[in-house]
Structure 1
């Protein structure tokens, strides 16, 4: 997930353009294996959503901002579905109208991940990455989850200046040393305390279950008897929760880039492990990097720059050792200093590389450039410095003066949006200090990437993040749905470990697992094999054959190197644009 999403205080202004506390119950199915009937929505859950009057979004034309056939609207939904006539929250949505109304099947709801990614923006972009066959048969609706983006915003601070002061310790990929660790822990505590007080009541009403309830009301609003849904990254957890809350209301649910639901929500057995360590995202990223270095060695220097410097794994180890001892100041083309490259900063940048479908080319170029800085010898790769700086600035933003502190000044609330979902959904250790030994354990399992992911949930420490949603989903994740759920997992995903897809598919009794040997985060669009299978399922309900494995169009080091005068000649991309997925980690570089 990125921290650089725009904040819009008033939906009507249309500012901006396209850009876990629960205790898990026992995971037991409620229907016998011999029964083909789906499990039924519980009476209590059906009552929560079905008694809410059908909302009127008062659709208005927003095509001048978001493109042809788009209309926008806002609905007012219960803050607490147990008290539907009391407090409400505004939820924004965008609809891309079906291209062929005479052949319309229904509405495809879509979520880009995060948590906190904009459903409005991904729906506005749908014509660029969804197949024409889907656009011809479905309206596409994107919903900005409550508390985020164009919906009513959760705010844990009075103004941008207060937010910046409170969160200053979090401005590293992960802390190293006593000073950084102390500052990180202090900011994590301040974050949790602020959202539990100033962020109330909205921060305590943003669990994934509440968003799933909103989506079911909106399903009824658009006139669909059952839900058709495509969710990426964190959006897979939303789809999973919906399928288990409303199993008999599923027409077709695709989850791509899957979070292990037991790891996200937590259980009594794993609650002492930080939520973002349980997901094993660090291990996924580390596995992907190791595979790239191994394939580089096999391909040799005609295909991979690093191989010309020695064994790629050894080259990387030497770079890490050097940066740990002596960080390097990165300068622009004129020699003016820009930022300090530390080991954690390099790990964060490499994670951004790994989100790309051509991850290997990015890793090769960036590590070759860094090697030229820490072990100067010979000419620098042309263009590599500018590309490296651009990627750093995409993650961290350009330097800016001290922000204004006027109480009414709008600010980017994406950090609060991310944490309010994460912390409300999942079990976590009690104190932010508990993340120190957890980070060390994560580093042993996945050097660098383990701490980066683990520390992200430290504001969720239960002694400081005290606001709760008593109606957050508590499982199980084993409901038999009216239609099979299609689970899509990418072998080399650095954010949602492939093991998460395997785990989710094993829990859902009527699901089908579609595997992809591809790179980057999520798989839709990376090959005709994956895309056609997902499209066919959404259109007809037909799932791919069990055990199907697709291969991504872009694979590491299959083309010989171009001339050194054109390092960008090695960039490659899938044959079709990819969905603008928001990875589940603050500060990550979005895929372009």
Structure 2
């Protein structure tokens, strides 16, 4: 049976994403004195080497967990300048290589977020990674400090205090003046809480600290050099490691790439919104425009909005900006659909390669429901569909009740500590409005994600953050993978990161959704070949995703894949070699604030 892969989005991975693509020939990696090694390599700085190398190699006491995995916790220095001082507990999970006699080593994986639990991604590995990778590597996931099953950051003393502080954040993003005011108040409360009660861990969650943890754990699992696969924000972690420890890289792949200079914000960019530097909204806007254009080209038989798809989308947006849609339902009660809900739902859909179907469906349904002239049968069908979506959203929505939910605080603990942000949260409304003018619909959504990071209220700092350089020559190539239509990590981030790293190769993908792995045999095969054998795709390779908008009717097989996978997975353990890749235990994209899906 031919190997089948599943996109990370269909697999439920954030941060987290077949036949028919033209696979470009692989070529050998640049060869110097050994496997994939250039003639010259930059060295780990004496400061970084001293920090990590004087930490004793931890003994990892693995125990069986989750039927087919092994788990452990390790205590690592809270501050690497004080290797024998305070520690923090780090959770680690591995799925052992299926062919232990031919095992290459360990593959560290990270799903992004920031704040995504790597242990969940490693546990899900049998459902999305290729068979050759699963045969040859122990798959190792680490929950970064403060995250998941590691010692958790807590910015408030109780759920009650947290709930009160978060009161203004429970919208996808603020639209009205009242919502903006409440959002700013809540952002300041969260920033102050994380800068006081959240200490000291909130000030020790920078990407640099996680890269140091990963280097110590690399040594602990017995690997001389690091093999790594990072998605989305995990691309930042991968690039930090490559530049902090350039001579300790065996193979490093980043997929869904953020330019680390834009992430940090340097020089004149220090006072800009992080979104002004990274332009995630630009990627989302481009993807939406292309979907609507292809809808028109496909015609009414393939897309119900054909003949004016962009106009239909804007009509729904205008109507919801003017007033929310309120639907009364006997089971759910009053269901309110705001403009921000419409945009947030669109953005979430764009994460999935088949998400164009959801974008079209929700637009058509809301177009009918907001038009008083819609006939009763059509109105009832649309109402039922929207209520069903609202019920699903309500089940998945974050509730700031018992137990303590620190997902937002893990995202902020990394982003606010790593990066430079504007000084005053009160400046966000104007800044977000400008972002929305530049990148319609999604500018506000991405801009507001970092409002708790305003420097006047987020005052906790990590004195050992890493701010560059990001152009080190690594001991093995860095494979940089960018997706043309990614709504979260703009393709231009992959281009600029690859241009920055002298020993790198750019692999482009004309595919949909967030990240490229699993969207085609071309992209997946190229990444697997590099991880296992050190061969790189030919320069200029562009893969083509299997799922392309309106290549099949709306509501066709692509719409059913995730649901079918959920049903087939129920009650089963890890798949055996050659079995179809199916949906893993859900690792949902992390919400930054409200219901917004983040990187």
TM class, shorter-chain normalised?
0.7 to 0.9
Describe the SS at the equivalent of 1:270: helix
Query: Partner residue of 1:500?
Result: 493
Contact 1:496 1:521 in 2 (8 A): yes
Sort the Cα spacing of 1:417 and 1:430 in 2 relative to 1 into closer, same or farther, 3 A.
same
- Match status 1:521 vs 2:514: yes
How far is 1:292 from its partner?
0.5
- Match status 1:263 vs 2:262: yes
- Match status 1:131 vs 2:130: yes
After TM superposition, list the pairs within 5 Å mapping 1:323-362 onto structure 2.
323-332=320-329, 334=330, 337-362=333-358
Question: Whole-Å Cα distance in 1 between the matches of residues 387 and 501 of structure 2?
Answer: 44
Describe the SS at the equivalent of 1:330: strand
- Match status 1:168 vs 2:167: yes
Query: Partner residue of 2:310?
Result: 313
- Match status 1:40 vs 2:43: yes
After TM superposition, list the pairs within 5 Å mapping 1:218-233 onto structure 2.
218-233=217-232
Question: Whole-Å Cα distance in 2 between the matches of residues 577 and 261 of structure 1?
Answer: 33
Contact 1:74 1:90 in 2 (8 A): yes
Query: Partner residue of 1:67?
Result: 67
Query: Partner residue of 1:365?
Result: 361
Deviates more, 1:35-44 or 1:508-517: 35-44
Question: Whole-Å Cα distance in 1 between the matches of residues 498 and 385 of structure 2?
Answer: 39
- Match status 1:571 vs 2:559: yes
Point out 4+ residue stretches in structure 1 off by more than 3 angstroms: 334-338, 378-404, 567-570, 572-591
Query: Partner residue of 1:542?
Result: 535
After TM superposition, list the pairs within 5 Å mapping 1:449-464 onto structure 2.
449-464=442-457
Sort the Cα spacing of 1:335 and 1:204 in 2 relative to 1 into closer, same or farther, 3 A.
closer
Deviates more, 1:268-277 or 1:448-457: 268-277
How far is 1:383 from its partner?
7.0
Contact 1:327 1:342 in 2 (8 A): yes
Sort the Cα spacing of 1:425 and 1:18 in 2 relative to 1 into closer, same or farther, 3 A.
closer
How far is 1:110 from its partner?
0.3
Sort the Cα spacing of 1:221 and 1:402 in 2 relative to 1 into closer, same or farther, 3 A.
closer
Query: Partner residue of 1:411?
Result: 404
Q: Aligned-residue CA RMSD in angstroms?
A: 2.4
How far is 1:95 from its partner?
0.8
Question: Whole-Å Cα distance in 2 between the matches of residues 480 and 18 of structure 1?
Answer: 30
How far is 1:326 from its partner?
2.1
Question: Whole-Å Cα distance in 1 between the matches of residues 388 and 468 of structure 2?
Answer: 43
Query: Partner residue of 1:447?
Result: 440
Unaligned stretches of 5+ residues in structure 2:
1-11, 15-37, 563-579
Query: Partner residue of 1:281?
Result: 280
Contact 1:526 1:576 in 2 (8 A): no
Q: 1:477 aligns with which of 465, 470, 482?
A: 470
What is the CA deviation profile of residues 432-456 of structure 1, one whole-angstrom value per residue up to 9, with x for unaligned ones?
0121221111010112210010011
Describe the SS at the equivalent of 2:436: helix
How far is 1:398 from its partner?
6.5
Query: Partner residue of 2:117?
Result: 118
Query: Partner residue of 1:180?
Result: 179
Question: Whole-Å Cα distance in 1 between the matches of residues 441 and 261 of structure 2?
Answer: 24
Describe the SS at the equivalent of 1:482: coil
Contact 2:369 2:382 in 1 (8 A): no
| TM-score, reference length from structure 1 | 0.87
How far is 1:283 from its partner?
1.0
Question: Whole-Å Cα distance in 2 between the matches of residues 252 and 554 of structure 1?
Answer: 29
Deviates more, 1:433-442 or 1:201-210: 433-442
Question: Whole-Å Cα distance in 1 between the matches of residues 41 and 342 of structure 2?
Answer: 48
- Match status 1:56 vs 2:59: yes
Sort the Cα spacing of 1:402 and 1:393 in 2 relative to 1 into closer, same or farther, 3 A.
same
Describe the SS at the equivalent of 2:430: helix
Contact 1:490 1:516 in 2 (8 A): yes
Contact 2:13 2:589 in 1 (8 A): no
Deviates more, 1:156-165 or 1:291-300: 156-165
Describe the SS at the equivalent of 1:464: coil
Question: Whole-Å Cα distance in 1 between the matches of residues 542 and 131 of structure 2?
Answer: 24
Query: Partner residue of 2:158?
Result: 159
Contact 1:207 1:469 in 2 (8 A): yes
Unaligned stretches of 5+ residues in structure 1:
1-16, 20-34, 405-409, 562-566
Sort the Cα spacing of 1:185 and 1:130 in 2 relative to 1 into closer, same or farther, 3 A.
same
How far is 1:268 from its partner?
1.6
Describe the SS at the equivalent of 1:61: strand
Contact 2:159 2:404 in 1 (8 A): yes
Deviates more, 1:394-403 or 1:211-220: 394-403
Describe the SS at the equivalent of 1:467: coil
Contact 2:407 2:590 in 1 (8 A): no
Sort the Cα spacing of 1:216 and 1:392 in 2 relative to 1 into closer, same or farther, 3 A.
farther
How far is 1:172 from its partner?
1.2
Query: Partner residue of 1:247?
Result: 246
Sort the Cα spacing of 1:501 and 1:396 in 2 relative to 1 into closer, same or farther, 3 A.
farther
What is the CA deviation profile of residues 87-112 of structure 1, one whole-angstrom value per residue up to 9, with x for unaligned ones?
00000010101101100000000001
Q: How many residues align?
A: 543
